[in-house]
Amino acid sequence: SRMPGKKVCIVGSGNWGSSIAKIIGSNVKASNRFHPEVNLWVYEETVDGRLLSHIINTQHENVKYLPGHKLPRNVRALPDLVEAVRGTELIVFVVPHQFIGGLCEQMKGHVKEGAIGISLVKGLDEGPDGIRLISDIIREKLHMDVSVLMGANIASEVAADKFCESTVGARTLANGLIFKELLQTPNFRITVVEESDTVELCGALKNIVAVGAGFCDGLGFGDNTKAAVIRLGLMEMVAFAKMFCRGPVSSDTFLESCGVADLVTTCYGGRNRKVAEAFVRTSKNISELEEEMLNGQKLQGPQTSAEIYKLLQKKNLVKEFPLFSAIYQICFQGRDVQDFITCLQNHPEHM
Ligand SMILES: NC(=O)c1ccc[n+]([C@@H]2O[C@H](COP(=O)([O-])OP(=O)(O)OC[C@H]3O[C@@H](n4cnc5c(N)ncnc54)[C@H](O)[C@@H]3O)[C@@H](O)[C@H]2O)c1
């Protein structure tokens, strides 16, 4: 008899979590390296008077966060996190970043010895010296090896099985390769690289740039301006990664899907761009718009800009990162959005 396959738990069932559940549910059936059933932890809520976990288990559809797509029947929704994680060896973290710390606290002591994780979370958290990677929070709290997956992967398109690429960043290559096997499909192509921190930072920082792209759209600028925002944003992403990462940061990583490709897709599609455009066109603040436009989905760009700005201030580097800084000040400090263009005109890249 063969070894029992590794069981997967997906922690989170929003728009991206549900899309990735579709892929995982189908892939585990095709390989005897994985257990044929998948646990999906669901943050319980009621939708039209019914429990979301119950809807998922009976209709096989996350009607709130991924309507119109069936989930494979071997994906089982569980509202109890401890129960969902029990006995599983591959843990996929895919929740908005503000919830990760609390969820890891609940999981402490319940994760199987030797289990490994992968974070699909795009964002950063506050740490003692400024900022902390989400994967580091998971490593510290749960003492497990954690890879990351980031890329040009707007969830609705992945759920519709439209071709795209993605990047796995792995501290331990063998573990990155296990997750590649779990997640790759003919239309979801994965490259594994070993510069995990750079990959993760790309995923967090691109959301700030997307807010800038949304400002340009709101102000009525064109494609050339947006291309400049993307390029200058990329330069700041590279500079920031070089400053922040302890390990090596190579330009090659930015050429993977997690770098340029995710930046481009987020600056054209993506919820951060959309809300930032509305921010310019209406007089509403960011949290009002998040509430109004996103149906329970969370925004990452503005909050990430706040975390980065605090660190830049502390290190006296605000002037070296004018685009990141202006985006924060416009979102939260009432700086005039027209100043965003002034900041592009005076970017140190041209001086
Ligand atoms: N949606 C995308 O296109 C996409 C693509 C790639 C990466 N990501 C990243 O994936 C991560 C998850 O995003 P998403 O799109 O799956 O989520 P989402 O924004 O669609 O949904 C929000 C989720 O948070 C849950 N939630 C609400 N309150 C909570 C609480 N108090 N505790 C725990 N969970 C709570 C909700 O149940 C829901 O599952 C984010 O970091 C995001 O940047 C998203």
Best probe residue, ligand 1, of 43, 158, 273 (max atoms within 8 Å of C-beta): 43
Q: Is 16 annotated as a binding residue?
A: yes
Angle, nearest 10°, between helix axes 271-281 and 286-293? 120
Burial of 187 (0-12, 13-18, 19+ CB in 10 A): middle
CB 257 within 8 A of CB 166: yes
**Mean of pLDDT values over 309-319:** 95
Element (H, E) at 50: strand 50-51
Answer yes or no: is 99 a known binding residue: yes
User: Span 5-28, mean pLDDT?
Assistant: 98
Listed residue (189, 152, 10, 184) closest to 94, CA to CA: 10
Q: Is the pLDDT of residue 222 over 60?
A: yes
Q: Is 151 in the pocket of ligand 1 (CB under 6 A)?
A: no
Same domain, 110 and 183: yes
Q: Tell whether 11 and 130 lie within a shared domain.
A: yes
For the cut 80, the answer to whether the pLDDT of residue 121 exceeds it is yes
Range of 266's domain? 198-350
C-beta of residue 173 within 8 angstroms of C-beta of residue 191:
no
Q: Is 46 exposed, middle or buried (0-12, 13-18, 19+ CB in 10 A)?
A: exposed
Output the CA 341–ligand 1 centroid distance in Å: 31
Is 226 an annotated catalytic residue?
no
Question: What span, in angstroms and rounded, lies between the C-alpha atoms of 171 and 135?
Answer: 11
The string of pLDDT tens digits covering residues 161-208 is 999 999 999 999 999 999 999 999 999 999 999 999 999 999 999 999
Q: Domain with 279 in it: what CATH number?
A: 1.10.1040.10
pLDDT in tens, 237-272: 999 999 998 889 999 999 999 999 999 999 999 999
Q: What is the pLDDT of residue 351?
A: 85
In this structure, the answer to whether residues 342 and 207 fall within a common structural domain is yes
Q: Has residue 1 been placed in a domain?
A: no
| Ligand 1 atom with the shortest distance to the CA of 43 | 37
46: amino acid identity, one letter: T
**Same domain as 157, residue 12:** yes
Higher per-residue pLDDT: 135 or 131: 135
Last residue of a domain, one of 179, 194, 209: 194
Specify whether the CB–CB gap between 314 and 244 falls below 8 A. Answer: no
In the reported structure, the alpha carbon of residue 342 is separated from the centroid of ligand 1 by a whole-number distance in angstroms of: 34
To the question of pTM greater than 0.85 for the whole model, the response is: yes
> Is the Cα dihedral 114, 128, 98, 330 positive or negative?
negative
CA 262 to each of CA 68, 71, 140, 337: distance values in angstroms, whole numbers, following the listed order: 24, 25, 28, 24
Assess whether 12 and 50 both reside in one domain.
yes
Q: Which of 124, 119, 261, 104 is nearest to 179 (CA)?
A: 119
Contact in structure between 39 and 7 (CB atoms under 8 Å): yes
pLDDT band at residue 158 under the 50/70/90 scheme: very high
The reply to whether ligand 1 has any atom less than 6 angstroms from the CB of 71 is: no
End position of a domain, from candidates 155, 179, 194: 194
Q: Are residues 12 and 97 in the same domain?
A: yes
275 with 150, same domain?
Answer: no
Q: Give strand pairing partners of 34.
A: 6
Residue 329 has pLDDT above 80, yes or no: yes
Q: Please give the pLDDT value at position 1.
A: 46
Identify which has the larger pLDDT, 283 or 25.
Answer: 25
Residue of 72, 62, 54, 96 lying closest to 8 (CA atoms): 72
| Residue tagged active-site, from 22, 180, 206, 226 | 206
Say if residue 300 carries a ligand binding annotation: yes
Pocket test for ligand 1, best of 40, 47, 95 (most atoms within 8 A of CB): 95
Shared domain for 19 and 166, answered yes or no, is yes
In the Cβ-directed half-sphere of 271, how many Cα atoms lie within 13 Å? 21
Residue 224, number of CB atoms within 10 A of its CB: 9
If asked whether residues 62 and 131 sit together in one domain, one would say yes
